[in-house]
Amino acid sequence: MSPTSEPPDGAPDPWPERFAALPVVSGPAWERVSGEPTRAAVRRVVPLVSLVATAAGALWVMVPTTGSLQRDRGAAPPPRVRLEAAAEGPAGLRPLRDGDVVARTERVVFRVATPDGGTLRVDESGTAIWSGEIGVGASAVGDGSSIAWRPDDEGVGTRTYEATLCGPGGCAGDRLLLTWAP
Amino acid sequence: MVIEPTDWELLDAHRAGDRSAFRTLFTRHRDGLTTFAWRLLDRREEAEEVVVDAFVRLMSQPPQPQGSLRAWLYTVVHRSALDRLRRRSRWGRVWDRLAQWVAPDVASPFDRVAEDEVASRLARALAALPEPHRVVLLLFYADELPTKEIAQILDCDDQQVRSRLSYARRLLRDAWGEP
């Protein structure tokens, strides 16, 4: 019983044709994630499969074997991470971009997004201001608390905020430059 | 005439040691499941993860051979996707306010459809619907599953699926802009 064989409400149903226009995932595309192979998926599978010995071979067979995936069977690639920030002030939250200016009345909250997970450290101009484990996806650093603000006894100026995520394959980072205004 | 083995037959063959059976089963369903998850999660990589997790679960905790195995896979993927959406929601409200700035992890399933007027309009209309109604429409129209299987996936009966579909269709018509 497909939608086309059973028009709802007894009337010609326009929706099957409209839904058919939506994009779908298909074979070769499944092997890519926005230009990247399904590395995270493969790595997630590996430890799970080790618990299911009889199925291990099957999973390796079923996962597409592109060149990039074959690389994953050797040394793990470094994790990927993106650092985002928002300024929290009297007017609420506002997004920050690289090079933005932060007012003295604002504090900065950070979020990182990663498809890999690992140990994260956030540095402010070389000094660690937060570290801990994060999982796959987007995580509000420090549960979203403000972890950067301009101390009264320090001058204004530009500071570098750098997120470094380390996993089995090494470390990777992303950074933002923010300028604290007078 | 070639008779394709059923999903349950493939699972049985896999359990009996036929490795190619599992590959066939995976290939048969992965694209549909991934597309379904992608449309719910809006993140391709997460969609692929929940699909792989579903197949890992199929191997480690295979279901009893009753009903549709495809529906069982959709059930697992659907629940995993909802779990992920719930986990996102804690910080979603804050970060949604910054949505114009926060780029998605990967391309949205609807990013590619900007040049396709019908798909683009439908994507916008679907995005305006509550999740349960969007899901039932996607399962029925996009995945073309019979209402009996949708009932299995959504853990309700066939009649409930039909009435939910009817209501969801009305919502979609409104969101689409039809009189």
What residue ranges do the domains of chain A occupy? 8-72, 82-180
pTM: 0.53
Contact status of B139 with chain A (Cβ, < 8 Å): no
- CATH architecture of structural domain B110-179: Up-down Bundle (1.20)
CA–CA separation, B83 and A135 (whole Å): 15
Chain A residues with CB under 8 Å of B123 CB are 22
Contact status of A88 with chain B (Cβ, < 8 Å): no
The domain made up of B1-101 has a fold known as Rna Polymerase Sigma Factor; Chain: A (1.10.1740)
pLDDT, tens digit (0-9, with 9 covering 90-100), for B127-157? 888 888 999 999 999 999 999 999 999 999 9
What residue ranges do the domains of chain B occupy? 1-101, 110-179
The residues in B 6-45 lying below 8 A from A, measured between CB atoms, are 14, 19-20, 22-23, 26-27, 30-31, 34-35, 38-39, 44-45
Subunit contact A23:B109, Cβ cutoff 8 A: yes
Q: Distances in Å between the alpha carbon of A43 and those of A40, A63, A165, B125? A: 5, 11, 16, 36
Residue ranges of chain A with pLDDT lower than 50?
1-7, 28-74
pLDDT, tens digit (0-9, with 9 covering 90-100), for A164-177? 998 888 888 898 99
CA–CA separation, A106 and A180 (whole Å): 9
The residues in A 44-83 lying below 8 A from B, measured between CB atoms, are 44-45, 48-49, 51-52, 54-55, 57-59, 61-63
- Predicted ipTM? 0.76
Environment class of A129 (CB within 10 Å of its CB; exposed 0-12, middle 13-18, buried 19+): middle
Contact status of B170 with chain A (Cβ, < 8 Å): no
pLDDT, tens digit (0-9, with 9 covering 90-100), for B30-80? 989 998 998 888 777 788 889 989 998 998 889 988 889 999 999 999 999
Chain B residues with CB under 8 Å of A138 CB are 88, 91, 95, 105
Contact status of A128 with chain B (Cβ, < 8 Å): no
Q: Per-residue DSSP letters for chain A?
A: --TTTS-GGGS---HHHHHTTS----HHHHTEETTEESHHHHHHHHHHHHTSHHHHHHHHHHS---HHHHHHTSSPPPP--EEEEEEEETTEEEEE-TT-EE-TT-EEEEEEEESS-EEEEEEETTEEEEEEEE-SEEEEGGGG---EE--TTS--EEEEEEEEEEETTEEEEEEEEEEE--
The CATH class given to the A82-180 domain equals mainly beta
